[in-house]
Structure 1
Amino acid sequence: MNAPAPHDHRRLGRELGLFDTDPLIGAGLPYWLPDGAVVRHALEEYVRDVERRAGYRHVYSPVLGKRELYEISGHWEHYSDDMFPPMEVGGEQVVLRPSLCPHHAVVYRSRSRSHRELPLRVAELGGMFRSEPSGVVGGLTRVRAIQLNDAHVFCTLDQVADEAAAALELIRRAYEVLGIEPVRHRLSLPGPGGKYVAAPEAWERATALLTEVLDRSGLPYEAAEGEAAFYGPKIDVQVADAAGRESTLSTVQIDFHQPERFDLRYVGADGARHRPVMIHRSVVGSIERAVAHLVERHGGAFPAWLAPVQLAILPVSDAESPEAEELAARCLRLGLRAEVAEPGRGTLGARIRAARLVPYQAVVGPKEAAEGLVALRLRDGRRLDPRPAGEVLARVEDLVAARSPELWPAG
């Protein structure tokens, strides 16, 4: 087996205490340690926030469903090889879901819908499960229990192109904030020998719409046969890991199949019942794969808003420890994640080196303790003159709240 790359998330993730695995839990089932849980939570809150601002409504749905649900959606016929076996419960077969879209179709049809409600954007950060072979699982990029940033837009045919384009733009803006650079955009099409829904007209229409969206976006892209979902073509946003291996992080898909299978309807302006179109889209894909990519992209030096510890407080000696603890308490009240590196952990230089990935380091010496000042060191090597603690914390709070990629803008 090849040695991991320097920024391989599997090595860094364990060194930084983000996640780990255990044979008792099983292959492809990593668990999140406290610092990793902080990164994951911050990413999830960011995604929920941008989706809410873009007009999405969030739901929760069960991770289980009757086998019949996936028979209707087409997953059982086209995707069962990648699903876990059914469980017998109360005389019925229940399945761990491989996807959230059937549940969202049920959410849509839970009551009658009018054209005035469309587009209806339904989002969820939900669990799903894939029966991945033991030989391919590893780290966070290929796992069996997945937390997916998923959403489905139910819309009229004449709204499809605009909604798909808006989803692609949402992905672009999120990548800017997260510091993610896609290696390419792919128009994923069906290929020979695959298990695809037999609906040539729907495939042709969906492909034409996605091509229109990509052409309108101005993004370079290439078509790839054999990479489509079983129910329709998709736009895949591809990223590369530390070893140069490519994978899909985000997608936009157009689906005429499931609205028909679930008999989804809305009442049009003409008073007649019409079939909506279903757009599948994910801004950051699975949280596991997104965090893996962010670990490798930033080498563990996360943007301040994502960092497990945002401010390391370093009292020069035990005499300054009370003021350091009070500063940490002030950070907590402001919603900042701070940790005191006590003198017992080593020399000041050793403690500074140990906190090298922390965005901000606040050195508290006798002068700072006596006058309520903070001498701030930035992760990029800059040192700021001592300033009132309130002023420093307010600035850090603003930068974190804005999810700024800059540690401390000049000026």
Structure 2
Amino acid sequence: MHDHRRLGRELGLFDTDPLIGAGLPYWLPDGATVRHTLEEYLRTVERRAGYRHVYSPVLGKRELYEISGHWAHYSEEMFPPMDLAGEQVVLRPSLCPHHALIYRSRPRSHRELPLRLAELGGMYRSELSGVLAGLTRVRAIQLNDAHLFCTLDQVAGEVQAALALIGRAHRALGLTGARYRLSLPGPGGKYVAAPGKWRRSVALLTEALENSGLRYEAVEGEAAFYGPKIDVQVSDHAGRESTLSTVQVDFHQPERFGLTYTGADGAGHRPVMIHRSVLGSLERAVAHLVEEHGGAFPAWLAPLQLAVLPVSDAQLPSAAAFVDRCLDLGLRAEVRGPERGSLGARVAAARLVPYQAVIGAREAAGDLVALRLRDGRRLAAQPVDEVLTRVCALVGGHSTELWEAVS
């Protein structure tokens, strides 16, 4: 197994500095490329699933979190309030109160529901220094978050759709071994006291899991303070388990914020709020991807997708032209010329790059390229256009395959 803390630094994905502080990693260029690619993938699949994206501030008045219930149930995980012009403002520990305010910013009709609001937004948690670890436990988090506002009879279907979206993303990322957990309240926890709402939420989540055909286990003591949730659990290199994706049903915050919609009967009704994250925090997602793949990311996610290797200086112009064609197609490619050593040394150095495009005298003369795949396969020289068409199809389709035979 791979430790993302070591490998992530060796691969130049992220690092830390004591002047920035513990639990506050920064992203290096290759890591930023992985993160940006993940963000664009998530926005694309969410748009196709009917989500609308928003932005909201990372600060809010203390009163906002008093209304949401975070202050009463979660304040020990939050950073202290800051005094600002006679008011107290707080770095948010969650995006849901902001999205509740966006929902109630205008009158809503049943015809608008389900309303799916999504955001890749920052949130902050005052983690103790003893639990901070690489990208898995941090104090500044970039969360792939969404909140769905719907009628009661839409809840189970929306939860099932969210579970399907999570499964699709995991397959595209080559993630394996995930387990589904129905997280329930337990004795001694700081939970909202509303037994009827808890029972109804648990029943809806159970219905969605069973209708989705997913095996799961129920675990007490792991619920959010406002409701039960489905957690998608993964394990790290040391066997430690953490939550990567989640779906939660919430009757609490719609009531606290007075959220309503006008029904077909012309009367006001209370929506149900579903909290949903396809990949959780981008920090934890990248940490798990590094450990799952050892840095050999699926081609669509790899920081560098094609290492272009001219055999000699004479092929440098052809290699540069090939890179330009790759860049025009949206592929990430760069020339690694003879100044970096022998062809064998350059191939070895590019062992984690999905495609190594070798260009010798014959390839340069015939507008051909000979591909070496990361898994060790060597392909015969082929026309550049044919190679790029197939690579683009695999990358654009978010495939985990490096090469597919022509049918």
Q: Which TM-score band applies after superposition, normalised by the shorter structure?
A: over 0.9
Paired-residue identity, %: 78
The one of 42, 46, 53 aligned to 1:47: 42
Post-superposition shift, 1:243?
A: 1.4
- 1:387 equivalent in alignment to 2:376: no
The one of 333, 341, 361 aligned to 2:336: 341
In structure 1, the gaps of 5 or more residues are 1-5
- 1:97 equivalent in alignment to 2:92: yes
- 1:405 equivalent in alignment to 2:400: yes
Given that 1:182 and 1:237 are in contact with CA atoms closer than 8 Å, whether structure 2 keeps it comes out as no
Aligned positions, number: 406
* Aligned residue identity for 2:154: Q
Cα separation, 2, equivalents of 1:230 and 1:312: 49
The one of 205, 215, 234 aligned to 2:229: 234
Cα separation, 2, equivalents of 1:213 and 1:404: 27
- 1:149 equivalent in alignment to 2:144: yes
> Higher mean Cα deviation, 111-120 or 374-383?
374-383
Post-superposition shift, 1:182?
A: 3.9
The one of 140, 149, 154 aligned to 1:159: 154
SS in 1 for 2:130: coil
Cα separation, 1, equivalents of 2:131 and 2:140: 14
SS in 2 for 1:135: helix
What residue in structure 2 maps to residue 82 of structure 1? Answer: 77
SS in 2 for 1:110: coil
- 1:177 equivalent in alignment to 2:168: no
Cα separation, 2, equivalents of 1:334 and 1:92: 51
SS in 2 for 1:49: helix
The one of 282, 285, 295 aligned to 1:287: 282
Output aligned runs, 1:12-411, within 5 Å. 12-411=7-406
Post-superposition shift, 1:34?
A: 0.4
TM-score scaled by structure 2? 0.98
SS in 1 for 2:307: strand
Cα separation, 2, equivalents of 1:398 and 1:383: 19
- After TM superposition, what 4+ stretches of structure 1 lie above 2 angstroms from structure 2? none
TM-score scaled by structure 1? 0.97
Instruction: Give CA deviations for 1:101-129 in whole Å, capped at 9, x if unaligned.
Output: 00000000000000010010010010000
RMSD over aligned Cα, in angstroms?
0.9
Post-superposition shift, 1:369?
A: 1.4
Given that 1:129 and 1:145 are in contact with CA atoms closer than 8 Å, whether structure 2 keeps it comes out as yes
Cα separation, 2, equivalents of 1:105 and 1:370: 62
Post-superposition shift, 1:372?
A: 1.4
Cα separation, 1, equivalents of 2:214 and 2:311: 52
Post-superposition shift, 1:395?
A: 1.6
Cα separation, 2, equivalents of 1:183 and 1:110: 38
Post-superposition shift, 1:239?
A: 0.5
Cα separation, 2, equivalents of 1:181 and 1:231: 30
Post-superposition shift, 1:330?
A: 1.3
